Amino acid sequence: MGDVETYGDVEGFKYGPRSTMRSSSRNRNIERRAEYLQADQCMPPPLDDGSMDRIWFIKDGCGLACVFVTWMLVFYAEFVVVFVMLIPGQHLMYSIINGIIFNALAFLALASHSRAMLTDPGAVPKGNATKEFIESLQLKPGQVVYKCPKCCSIKPERAHHCSVCKRCIRKMDHHCPWVNNCVGENNQKYFVLFTMYIALISLHALTMVCFHFLYCFEEEWLKCSSFSPPSTVILLILLCFEGLLFLIFTAVMFGTQVHSICSDETGIEQLKKEERRWAKKTKWMNLKAVFGHPFSVEWLSPFATPDQGKVDPYQYVV
C-alpha cells in the first residue's frame, strides 16, 4: 500500500501503488502494511469539551523564573521613576505628563507580555495521527503527510515541534523563556508589541534619568529626591543600566521580528534554510496577516485579537 521514510523527528507517509521514495544515505525506505498508519501508540485526540477555551499555560521552571524576573524589573523601574524622580520633582506638570506616559507604556508592555504568554501560539492538535484522521484527508496517490513521533500529530506545513511546549507549533519562530511560550502564528503580534513597549519605556526611563541628574547637579541633592543622595545615585545607576540593557535587547528583537514578518520567514526557517513552498506575498500583506485586517489603531493594542482575514488553509500533504 505504501512506503515510509524517516526524516529525523518526522515521518513521511506516501500513498501510491508500491511506489518508492528516494532516500539519502542516512534514511532508508521501509515497506509497511497499511496497518502502520493506524494509531501506532498514539492516543486519539480528546473530545471537544470546551478545553479550547481554557488558558494556554506552559509549566516550565526556567520560563516561570524568567517571567518573574521580567515583571520584577518592570516594577523596579516603576518604583524608581515614580517615587525617586517624579513625586519629589518640583515641576508638577512635568511629573504628571511623564508619569502618565510611563505608566501607560508599562501597562501596555505587561498586558502584551501576558497575552504572549497565555495565548495558544498555534499548537497542532495532539494525537491526531490516527487512521480516521488520515483517511479524512482523502490523500491522492503520490501525496505525503508528515507525522511527529514526539506528539503523535500529523504536521501541517511550516509547523515545528517545540521540546519545551511538547507540541508542534504552526509558524513557530522560536521558544522565548521571557514569555514562557513559543512565538508562533497566533501570538506573534503580542510578542512584537511586548518588545516594542519595553524598548519605549526603557528609552523613556533613560531620558528621565538624564534630566534628573542634570536637575540634581544644578540644585541641592536633598531637594531633588526624598531618598538620601547615595541611595538616589545607586537607584538611578541601576535603572540606567537596566534601561540600557533592555533597550538594546528589545530593540534588536523588535527589528528581527518585523523583518521576519515582512519576509514571511520564521526564525527556524531562516536558521534551517528551508525551501520556500508557500506563496510569496507583499510585505504589507504579511504585516496584516499578523496584526489584522485592515490597518487600524488596534494594531498597537494587546487587547485586540487580530482578524487575519482570508488566509490560506494549512496543508497536511506535500
Query: What number of other Cβ atoms are within 10 A of residue 133's Cβ?
Result: 18
The answer to whether the CB of 179 falls within 8 A of the CB of 257 is no
d(CA 62, CA 178): 9
The C-alpha atoms of residue 35 and residue 91 are separated, in whole angstroms, by 78
Task: Count the Cβ atoms, other than its own, within 10 Å of residue 242.
Answer: 18
CA gap 257, 195 in Å, rounded: 9
Distance from C-alpha of 159 to C-alpha of 169, rounded to nearest angstrom: 5
Contacts of 20 (CB under 8 A, 6+ apart): 3, 29
Q: Let me know if 210 is a catalytic residue.
A: no
How far apart CA 56 and CA 78 sit, in angstroms, is: 28
Strand 174-176, strand 181-183: pairing = antiparallel
Distance CA 219, CA 89 (A): 11
Give the whole-angstrom CA distance, residue 38 versus residue 34. 8
| Active-site residue (options: 148, 152, 168, 176) | 176
3-state SS, residue 270: helix
Assigned C-alpha cell, 175: 521558544
SS3 138: coil
> Nearest to residue 257, comparing CAs of 170, 169, 176?
176
Give me the active site residues, please: 176
